[in-house]
Amino acid sequence: MKKLIAALFCSALSFSAVAGGNVAAGKAVADKYSCFTCHGKDYNTPIDPSYPKLAGQHKDYLQHALTAYKRGDGANGRNNAIMTGQVKPLTDQDIKDLAAYLHSLPGSLAVHR
């Protein structure tokens, strides 16, 4: 019985990691598509001040933004031709993984009261 419970627990953890995105896989996606070229090596220092800082950003926001760019229909104001081209080949899991990776990085974003 203990082995069955342990197996179920491990399966649940494994599913949860995939459902929430895999940080290591997200780093591989970021490296493959050279996201740092525009957003900076640390994802806190973009090459242009109008480009967003991605490190430490909320996962759900990143997933939503990347999905909107992938649609490429200007939904939610996401109609940048460069970003649309960058995210077009990404799968839904790639987007989750990338969001998990960027969220895991130390960011310089702050919430002011």
Residue 33: which of 58, 54, 61 has the closest Cα? 54
Name the CA radius of gyration of the chain, rounded.
16
Give 57's contacts (C-beta < 8 A, 6+ positions apart): 102, 103, 107, 109
pLDDT digits over 55-76, tens only?
A: 999 999 999 999 998 887 765 6
- Write down the pTM of the prediction: 0.77
Angle between helices 59-71 and 92-104 (to 10 degrees): 140
pLDDT at residue 12 greater than cutoff 90: no
